[in-house]
Structure 1
Amino acid sequence: MNYFENQKLLAPYDFSKFSQSAIDTAMKIAGKNENVTVLHVVDPSPLYGYSGDMGMELGAGRVLDLPNVDLAAEIDADHQAQALKMLHGELGDARHHGLNYDTIVDEPAHGIAAYAESNEFDLIVLPSHGRTGFKRLLIGSTAERVVRLAHCPVMVLRL
């Protein structure tokens, strides 16, 4: 038996092979799939005309107009519903039976940490790098921020 068996584990999922490995690891650690929640965070910044690293994106040498907030909220909700449907589609086989799924709209690192805290998770399991690849030499920027922000232990998998 391990310390986190029968504890609540959170496995963020960005549809990359790396995050799939993190889900597999979380399932092994948890002892049963019902103790694992797979979370996809819909990052709204591209939807609002912002890039993750540069602030407002520039188009043809000018600052892009701010989108209609109501329209952006609809887009966020649509992305969230689509992501949840995709989660069930990709992880709908018998091996993943019993997993819990959720999506939120937030900046990924802050969203993961806040979700884990508000839902009282005991461990976050995530890969060192996600779908953006090797942005940092040793650890991905999202994983690094989750480690700093999280209220609970974080297991960062070197993949």
Structure 2
Amino acid sequence: MNYFDNTKILAPYDFSEFSRAAVETAIKIAGKNENVTVLHVVDPSPLYGYSGDMALELGAGRVLGVPDVDLASEIDDQHEKKALESLKNEFSDGRHQGLNFDTAVNEAAHGITEYAEHHAFGLIVLPSHGRTGVKRLLIGSTAERVARLAHCPVLVLRE
């Protein structure tokens, strides 16, 4: 008997080979595809031209370059729909039949953990891309942040 039988398992997916391996591991752990949800989190900041190392400029008492809120939500909706279509296409073969797919708009670690908690998942399975040293300090580790923020167990797979 598997400890995670009939447990809802979340497998975040970023379209990398590492996250694909995490989805396959989640399927093995779950025992049946219906218990696995593949989630792609759309981080909106790059869509608006911002990145983690970029600061907003202030001028005349207001923030310059902040996108119109309506336009921002339209961009999010478009990317979310495209991501969902891509997820379904990526796992369209018979072996992946029954998987659940969803998207969320948020920063990756918060998007994953908030989604998992809101939908009462019992396990999160995700890869570690294995960044070390300065690269890890500059970029940060999504897997590490998910493990710290999650309400449920997190299985981090090394590459």
Larger radius of gyration: 2
Structure 2 unaligned runs (5+)?
58-62
Number of aligned residues: 149
Determine what percentage of the aligned residue pairs are the same residue: 72
Structure 1 unaligned runs (5+)?
58-62
Cα RMSD (Å): 1.8
Q: Distance in 2 between matches of 1:142 and 1:19?
A: 12
Q: Distance in 1 between matches of 2:78 and 2:66?
A: 19
Deviation track 1:61-83 (CA, whole Å, cap 9, x = no partner) reads xx861111111110100000000
TM-score normalized with structure 1 length: 0.88
Partner residue in 2 for 1:5: 5
Residues 126 and 53 of structure 1: CA distance in aligned 2, closer, same or farther (over 3 Å): farther
TM-score normalized with structure 2 length: 0.88
Partner residue in 2 for 1:107: 107
Q: Distance in 1 between matches of 2:154 and 2:111?
A: 14
Partner residue in 2 for 1:90: 90
| Deviation, structure 1 residue 52 | 2.5
Partner residue in 2 for 1:60: none
Local SS of the residue matching 2:41: strand
Local SS of the residue matching 2:136: coil
- Where in structure 2 are the equivalents of 1:97-136 lying within 5 Å? 97-129=97-129, 134=131, 135-136=135-136
Residues 153 and 49 of structure 1: CA distance in aligned 2, closer, same or farther (over 3 Å): same
Q: Distance in 2 between matches of 1:106 and 1:136?
A: 20
Q: Which runs of 4+ in 1 moved over 4 A?
A: none
